[in-house]
Amino acid sequence: MSFTNVSIREALQLPEGSKARIRGWVYRRRIYGDKAFVVVRDSTGIMQTVVAKGSTIDFEKAENITIESAIEVEGTVKNDPRAPGGKELRVTSFKIISKAEPFPITASASREFLLDIRHLWVRSRKMTAIFKVRNTVFRAIHDYFKNKGYYEVQCPMFITAAVEGGATLFEVDYFGEKKVYLTQSSQFYLEALIYSLEKVYTVAPSFRAEKSRTRRHLTEFWHAEAEAAWAGLNDMLKVEEELIAYIVERVLEENQQELEFLKRDISALEGVKPPFPRISYTEAIEMLKRKGIKVEWGEDLGADEERALTQEFEKPFFIYGYPVKAKAFYHKTDPQNPKVTLSADLLAPEGYGEIIGGGERIADKNELIRKIKDFGLNPDDYQWYIDLRKYGSVQHAGFGLGIDRTVMWICGLDHIIDAIPFPRTIRRIYP
Ligand code: 4AD
Ligand code: MG
């Protein structure tokens, strides 16, 4: 008799009568008459194994096995429509690799408790399904940029001046010397690197000291950022919509099972195809006013306003031309309209809101220095960034995609903390 090690997904495809050895963790255990039903979980799925009483000493082992114990089981595949996946393994050998202590997670566990015990909750089928989608999203981002001729680069996380405004900067003690912060965005370094590689991107964490508790803010999030020389706002919008459509297409191809497990409405994702609608900030304000929402031209749009706007669209959509004061200093002013910038956000539908921010950058040295001063900042803090405008400056544009928010939307989650294995928020840095 020969047994081969197989994954549970493979075991569930074997014809009846095949011999197989699977290993994994005990997902469920139930005694029924003279049989022990032990459902085993591995990274590919779950499978029911059946240990019959009287046959061997293995019955006692199976009878007393605890949830999350690591086991290795040999047996014969048998069709059974009642079993998950339609097959079970009739056990001939039941080996305990490591017996688990009583597992602390039960069906009645609160959300808070599941976060305290996240290091164990990551084993749940829900989390596993989300991580698989997340994996596809990261892969797709790298594949997209690679196919489009972008170079991947790496930028520092310790920085000395704010990119996205001082309010959300994390200060770090750096040998007690000068002030150092955790980066909010790799954008400025990408801007330096376009003069070497022209088209660059990076996938890295960004940090924001977000004091508000919302469903879509982490203090440490994953950021996919791109920057291209010779590009204007509209060139970048094209890249953004292609990237998003490609990510969604890949998830639909590779994660059918996971989306089904998460009860995600697939039809909403199937429509995510370019071109995405584009509305100006001014149109967005008018839309909101017609909906009876109190907003004034000039304010940035918050989560509530964005949610209201997403009701008007079936797929992701762009809002372009944000007012000068509503966006960070580096955005280029629209030469046709000095009140607004050549910036755009991409909003995900179904209430999710902003997943991308980006636009065209100021390429002129004097314009940049003026803007830095207008924003009450000190040009001395941005010396090297200003330098880039002294030596062969060219038109350029870029954007940043919040990957965790993208996963949240694609998976249809109601909170961003479930989109990342170990979330960092204002209240949580453990485990
Ligand atoms: O709109 P943001 O602040 O833009 C930038 O950082 C630019 N420098 C990017 C660039 O042009 N290279 O952030 C970009 C995206 C947001 O649209 C959002 O999806 C995500 O990053 N994001 C967050 N995600 C989770 N938690 C937070 N606290 C986030 N802050 C921003
Ligand atoms: Mg933004």
CATH number at residue 414: 3.30.930.10
In-domain check, residue 342: yes
Q: Tell me which residue has its CA closest to atom 17 in ligand 1.
A: 356
Residues 6+ apart with CB under 8 A from 383: none
**Sign of CA pseudo-dihedral 61, 65, 70, 76:** positive
Q: What spacing in Å lies between the alpha carbon of 13 and ligand 1's midpoint?
A: 43
pLDDT of residue 2: 75
Q: What spacing in Å lies between the alpha carbon of 325 and ligand 2's midpoint?
A: 13
Check whether residue 122 and residue 83 sit in a common domain. Answer: no
Check whether residue 196 and residue 264 sit in a common domain. Answer: yes
Check whether residue 90 and residue 124 sit in a common domain. Answer: no
Q: Tell me which residue has its CA closest to atom 11 in ligand 1.
A: 399
Check whether residue 184 and residue 92 sit in a common domain. Answer: no
Read off the tokens for 153: 């680069």
Is the separation of the CB atoms in 410 and 136 below 8 Å? no
In-domain check, residue 309: yes
Is the separation of the CB atoms in 159 and 190 below 8 Å? no
Nearest atom in ligand 1 to the alpha carbon of residue 226 is 12
Check whether residue 28 and residue 142 sit in a common domain. Answer: no
| Domain end point (choices 65, 98, 131) | 98
pLDDT of residue 283: 98
- 3-state class (DSSP) for residue 129: helix
Q: What is the pLDDT of residues 153-200, one digit of tens each?
A: 999 999 999 999 889 999 999 998 788 999 999 999 999 999 999 999
Task: Please tell me the total count of domains within the chain.
Answer: 2
CATH of the domain at 68: 2.40.50.140
In-domain check, residue 25: yes
* Mutational test site, ligand 1, from 356, 385, 407, 426, max ligand atoms within 8 Å of CB: 356
Check whether residue 70 and residue 157 sit in a common domain. Answer: no
In-domain check, residue 424: no
Check whether residue 185 and residue 267 sit in a common domain. Answer: yes
| Domain end point (choices 73, 98, 123) | 98
Check whether residue 122 and residue 209 sit in a common domain. Answer: yes
Check whether residue 92 and residue 240 sit in a common domain. Answer: no
* Mutational test site, ligand 1, from 214, 223, 415, max ligand atoms within 8 Å of CB: 223
In-domain check, residue 104: no
In-domain check, residue 263: yes
β-bridge mates for residue 398, sequence order:
227, 359
Q: What spacing in Å lies between the alpha carbon of 110 and ligand 2's midpoint?
A: 32
* Positions in the chain short of pLDDT 70: 1, 55-56
pLDDT of residue 1: 59
* Mutational test site, ligand 1, from 208, 210, 341, max ligand atoms within 8 Å of CB: 208
Q: What spacing in Å lies between the alpha carbon of 258 and ligand 2's midpoint?
A: 29
pLDDT of residue 178: 83
Task: Please name which ligand lies nearest the alpha carbon of 155.
Answer: 1
pTM over the 0.75 mark: yes
Check whether residue 227 and residue 195 sit in a common domain. Answer: yes
Cβ atoms within 10 Å of 62's Cβ, excluding its own: 25
Task: Please name which ligand lies nearest the alpha carbon of 361.
Answer: 1
The alpha carbon of 248 is separated from its chain's Cα centroid by a whole number of angstroms, namely: 12
Q: What spacing in Å lies between the alpha carbon of 401 and ligand 1's midpoint?
A: 6
Check whether residue 70 and residue 145 sit in a common domain. Answer: no
Domain housing 276: 115-418
Q: Tell me which residue has its CA closest to atom 9 in ligand 1.
A: 400
Task: Please name which ligand lies nearest the alpha carbon of 359.
Answer: 1
pLDDT of residue 212: 82
* Mutational test site, ligand 1, from 186, 188, 216, 347, max ligand atoms within 8 Å of CB: 216
Cβ atoms within 10 Å of 197's Cβ, excluding its own: 17
pLDDT of residue 57: 75
Q: Using a 6 Å CB cutoff, which residues line ligand 1?
A: 163-164, 185, 187, 208, 210, 217-218, 221, 223, 225, 354-358, 398-400, 402, 404-405
Check whether residue 131 and residue 92 sit in a common domain. Answer: no
In-domain check, residue 431: no
Q: What spacing in Å lies between the alpha carbon of 405 and ligand 1's midpoint?
A: 10
Task: Please name which ligand lies nearest the alpha carbon of 405.
Answer: 1
In-domain check, residue 107: no
| Domain end point (choices 98, 128, 150) | 98
Q: Burial code of 163-191, b = ≥16 C-beta within 10 A, e = fewer? A: bbeeebbeeeeeeeeeeebbbbbbbbbbb
Q: Tell me which residue has its CA closest to atom 27 in ligand 1.
A: 217
Q: What is the pLDDT of residues 392-429, one digit of tens each?
A: 999 999 999 999 999 999 999 999 999 999 999 999 99
Q: Which residues surround ligand 2, an ion (CB under 5 A)?
A: 357
Q: What spacing in Å lies between the alpha carbon of 219 and ligand 1's midpoint?
A: 11
- 3-state class (DSSP) for residue 184: coil
Tell me the Ramachandran region of residue 289: left when phi exceeds 0, alpha when psi lies from -120 to 50, beta otherwise. Answer: alpha
Q: What spacing in Å lies between the alpha carbon of 207 and ligand 1's midpoint?
A: 10
